Amino acid sequence: MNEVENVDSFFQMESLAHVYGPSEVLLNLSLAFILGMAVSWVYKKTHKGLSYSQSFMLTTVFVSVIVCMVIMIIGNNLARAFALVGALSIIRFRTVVKDTKDTAYIFWALAAGMAAGTGSYFLALAGSGVMGLIAYVLDITNYGSIHKSEFILQFRIKKDSNRDSPEYTKIISKYAKKSTLLHIESSGDNQSSKMSFDIIMDKDRDQNEFINNIAQVPGITETTLVAAKHDVDY
């Protein structure tokens, strides 16, 4: 008897699921869009390094709006929630997140979309405001930084180049007061390697002349010199 009553109460609860009106749907989606834009704007203003991605900015906006739609679809309907979990379980994401901080922005967009979808407008606005303030304070204080670079030198070099006494090391020693090898990344075909150096330039040396001399070394391509007053991703 108790089991029958539990089933009856379950379906009665399902029938009481909240139905969103057109104006409420538009308001929730608009707020989710605005908050998603805010998240992407903060990401753009506080991002440092070489891994900046326009597609990631678009993703934060899409995630906020999509999550808002999902929350409104589910409402308090448990059957829909389980069906949605089953449908989304077949999705596999294989994109590698280069900067772990990007994950925080994704969760921010998720939370903003959820708050907008449930009609928690104050929570959505206040929470996003606090998150934006935290991101700004951490950015201007350069919180957690233990290493500051002046320039990041990057180039790609063929594997058959002379590695015992490469010419680029002589040029770096000539123009840089201090240099540190940061990263070596082999290409997919194993024919070349991408190298990254932390460079502190000698004050008497010209930066354009330095990068031009590096670019003229046989076997070296894709040469870049990036100013980096803070921590950077390479």
Burial class (CB in 10 A: 0-12, 13-18, 19+), 94: exposed
Residue 89: CB atoms within 10 Å: 8
Round to whole Å and give the CA distance between 144 and 164.
37
Instruction: Indicate the Cα dihedral angle 167, 171, 173, 175, nearest 10°.
Output: 180
Asked if residues 20 and 72 have their Cβ atoms less than 8 Å apart, the reply is yes
Query: Residue 44 contacts by C-beta under 8 Å, 6 or more apart in sequence?
Result: 52, 57
Sheet architecture: strand order including 151-158: 176-186, 192-201, 151-158, 220-227
Instruction: Indicate the Cα dihedral angle 41, 42, 46, 48, nearest 10°.
Output: -50
pLDDT recorded at residue 96 = 61
Round to whole Å and give the CA distance between 38 and 93.
25
Structural domains of the chain sorted by starting position, each given as residue range(s) with its CATH number in brackets: 2-140 (no CATH), 151-227 (3.30.70.2690)
pLDDT recorded at residue 130 = 93
Q: Please report, in tens digits, the pLDDT of each residue of the chain (234 residues total).
A: 455 455 445 444 444 456 677 888 899 899 999 999 999 999 988 887 666 778 888 988 998 998 888 888 887 666 666 666 665 665 555 556 666 788 889 889 989 988 898 888 999 999 999 999 998 898 887 776 655 557 788 888 877 655 544 777 788 787 787 777 777 777 767 777 888 887 777 776 777 787 788 788 877 887 877 776 554 554
Which among 105, 77, 109, 214 is positioned nearest to 152, based on CA atoms?
Answer: 214
pLDDT recorded at residue 41 = 93
- Using DSSP bridges, classify how beta strands 192-201 and 220-227 pair: parallel, antiparallel or unpaired: unpaired
Q: 10-13 contacts: CB < 8 A, separation 24 or more?
A: 10/78, 13/76, 13/78
pLDDT recorded at residue 161 = 56
